[in-house]
Structure 1
Amino acid sequence: MKKIILNILLCVGFLANLFAQQTPAPKQTQAFTIEGATAHIGNGEVIENSLIMFSNGKIDFVGSANTKIARKGTIINAKGKHVYPGLIAANTSLGLGEIDAVRATRDFDEVGTYLPHIRSIIAYNAESKVVETMRPNGVLIAQVTPRGGRISGTSTVVQLDAWNWEDAAIKLDDAIHINWPSAFSRGRWWLGEDPGLKPNKNYNDQITELKDFFVNANKYLKSDKKQKNLPFEALSGVFNGKQKVFIHVNGEKSIVDAIDTFTGIGIKNLVMVKAHGADKVADVLKENNIPVVLERAHRLPSSEDEDYDLPFRTAKILTDKGILVGLGMEGDMERMSTRNLPFYAGTHAAYGLGKEKALQLITENNAKILGIDAHVGTLTVGKDATLFISAGDALDMRTNIINEAFIQGRKLSLETHQTKLWKRYANKYKK
């Protein structure tokens, strides 16, 4: 009997080791000094032969390695390498789904239409095998965002090395996410309708319904609230300015309608997400000081009359207009593809934006849009020591080989199921 129990325990231990995520790194107890690397600050600035020191989870010094100053703690010789702030992925359902084909592992879309009270962070799986694959590419922070409905719920910004969602959260409930009605619709072929694209005859009614929801919520919040209404309660942060409203919208008419609708009821803390056609209404976005979180560049144009490379050039167009632009990950295979975030930025770099401004899309700009720029987004004294060292250009998949990574000064493990398989088969063919 004892032998059977022992065998069961060994099997359980083996399976736990096989399927469990890497154990999160402990709190930083010793200082680190990174010397000799090319430092990409994240705000467009570059320091050759840099010196960066951090302790107690915060950056203490950023400057030239020629500076006469005592080095602290463990010294990392990074000569010939590059150091970057941790990359930030906006608008991703990372950690809310594991295997698309298994319904029980998908927790990013709740039943219902108006769901501002649904909090994505409650469903976040810090032990996701997908989450751990982000770190070897430098993606260390993400905005975990729900999907579906007219109002999907609230997102939360997390760091990607944690025991649970409480440990992971950097900024709880940072924004409400709205799926704006489409000005066009396709016929339902299964009902015998013409499958072609045509104006959405219910478009104005859907906008009115959405607007009325917010107007009624505002009235409720100003009332004596005798009967509790959870969806309306969840919108209090929108009206007092503590929460942003991320509007997932496509088409220049829809973008303008969304801006007019929400500014008309006194809500101005807006962010346009995906925003195909934003280049055509850039002046309106600039006038209202509205940032844009673009969809991934690696996609087809949204209409037949667009240039084939417009998705690659949109970040450049909007940036030149003075609009704050970040990158998001919504779309097919978005959770798995989030690890490719730096390479999407690299595509924008190749189409006119340049390396450092492209880096800003996923560092300083995303940090500003998500409201976490006081703590992360750039290599700046006083900010969190969330950064990584790469053997080469982090925006190029050929050279983004990460040697060290830190979140709040905690030295991370870069081992994942994928790296283990890579080493296993690399050794096989060496033999």
Structure 2
Amino acid sequence: MKNLYLIIVILSLTTNLIAQKKIAEKQSKSVLIMNGTAHLGNGKVIENSVIGFKDGKLQLVADATLVRIDMTAYDLKIDAAGKHIYPGFIAPNSTLGLVEIDAVKASDDEDEIGNFNPNVKSLMAYNAESKVTETVVPNGILTAQITPRGGRISGSSSIVQLDAWTWKDAVLKENDGIHLNFPNTFRTGRGAENGVIEVNKDYIKQIEEIVNFINTAKSYSSSTPKERNLVLEAMKGLLDGSQTLFIHANDEKQIIDAVNVFKENGINKLVIVGGYEAYKTTELLLKNNIPVLLKRIHEMPVNDDQDYDLPFKMAKILTEKGILVGLENSGNMERMNTRNLPFLAGTCAAYGLDKEIALQLITSNTAKILGIDSFCGTLEEGKDATLFISEGDALDMRTNKLKETFIQGRLINLENHQSNLNKIYKSKYNQN
């Protein structure tokens, strides 16, 4: 009997430890937010705004001094006086939900064996109940592009909203694009001391492998094969333009060669991911209408002869050249660091970019790059009611304090295991 009682106690404690937060229910009451400063995500600001939404869609976004409001048309009213309203931030090229604990192999599902895997679908592996994911929402990141890693062609990404029970509940756009890691022009010498850099002697050969794979996919697509090949079949979206090719490349030669190779082979819908030296290739990018998802800017310059603040200025340089720019956050501890996405944009503003243009780097610009701008990325009538109210400037870590958050009109619970631990230890040390 004692053993049975002990088992019950252990199971009870375990259940409490692993329990997930409650997922918000579908919006059932219309909402009206008044008196807040609305940052629309398209460069515009409404100082005294009125925002109404019903059934998950924005019905009213206007200046309160210019419209007559039927207060009886809304069930709930929120006074946002002195606060700021933003569209939900978007995290592209993210592995949220694909890895829970780096050191636990069973929780790591971000890549597959093999070099050419366009048929791999990251959405199938997405864990909507990830404890890491629920920690980024309180900073305003409400949408993400879930992206695979590894190999030459990693697979396809999908776009999700970050409050769901399963991947089927979360998905906003399935298989939006395929991700390719372009060959490096240089590599660290194997066994070399002090990380000596050497020319990648296989660079041309590796590019030829990509071209051969594309040609094989073209032949498969234009014929009636006796046997179905899922790998080659997965390339169809790139060949017919229904999918985007996200090219992960950083240095100047990589970017130039990548654009030329894929244009010559009939793949025209391209995005550069990383793009550290994209500022050296702006004419080529502009000519071919290619946007850039800039690598994490909170890093040191790559080369000794570069300005110490080059990463901070990169978005401004590209934007002023006319390039459509978004921010991505891949790198060390990228899932946990996703919560810092708004502060990357804040740094861009601190280094010369207008604050509202910096906001576009993680809202409307990214939505356009990912092809979801018809329903996401800005506060506009007819779009999803995915937004939040912050006590202050959401691009500043000191004042990014979310009060109310909505995804498709659903009021989101911002509590998570970190905020619960915060309450527990504040109570323990009488800091409430």
TM-score by length of 2: 0.96
CA distance in 1, matches of 2:31, 2:12: 34
Amino acid at match of 1:217: A
Write the mapping of 1:4-403 to structure 2, written as runs, cut at 5 A.
8-9=7-8, 11-66=10-65, 67-71=67-71, 72-189=74-191, 195-403=195-403
Amino acid at match of 2:99: G
Which range moves more in the overlay, 220-229 or 48-57?
Answer: 220-229
CA distance in 2, matches of 1:17, 1:194: 48
Relative to structure 1, the CA distance from residue 7 to residue 64 in structure 2 (aligned partners, 3 Å threshold; closer, same or farther) is farther
Query: Equivalent residue for 1:419?
Result: 419
Query: Identity over the aligned pairs, expressed in percent?
Result: 54
* 3-state SS, counterpart of residue 80 of structure 1: coil
**Alpha-carbon RMSD:** 1.5
Cα drift, residue 65 of structure 1: 2.1
CA distances 1:170-220 after superposition (whole Å, capped 9, x unpaired): 00011100000001122111xx68941121111011001011101110110
Cα drift, residue 11 of structure 1: 4.1
CA distance in 1, matches of 2:236, 2:9: 51
CA distance in 2, matches of 1:290, 1:93: 23
CA distance in 2, matches of 1:37, 1:283: 41
CA distance in 2, matches of 1:248, 1:267: 15
Cα drift, residue 241 of structure 1: 1.1
Relative to structure 1, the CA distance from residue 292 to residue 9 in structure 2 (aligned partners, 3 Å threshold; closer, same or farther) is same
Q: How many equivalent pairs are there? A: 428
Cα drift, residue 52 of structure 1: 0.2
CA distance in 2, matches of 1:207, 1:309: 33
Native 8 Å contact 1:20 1:127 kept in 2? no
CA distance in 2, matches of 1:117, 1:23: 33
Query: Equivalent residue for 2:431?
Result: 430
Structure 1 regions of 5+ residues with no counterpart?
Answer: none
Native 8 Å contact 1:116 1:234 kept in 2? yes
CA distance in 2, matches of 1:45, 1:430: 40
CA distance in 2, matches of 1:87, 1:305: 34
Cα drift, residue 355 of structure 1: 1.1
* 3-state SS, counterpart of residue 178 of structure 2: strand
Structure 2 regions of 5+ residues with no counterpart?
Answer: none
Amino acid at match of 1:184: F
Amino acid at match of 2:60: F
CA distances 1:133-169 after superposition (whole Å, capped 9, x unpaired): 0110000000000111000011010000000011111
* 3-state SS, counterpart of residue 153 of structure 1: strand
Cα drift, residue 101 of structure 1: 1.1
CA distances 1:289-339 after superposition (whole Å, capped 9, x unpaired): 000000111011122221111100010010011110001111000000001
CA distance in 2, matches of 1:252, 1:416: 42
Cα drift, residue 429 of structure 1: 3.6
Native 8 Å contact 1:21 1:132 kept in 2? no
CA distances 1:33-71 after superposition (whole Å, capped 9, x unpaired): 110100000000000010000010000100122322112
Amino acid at match of 1:426: K
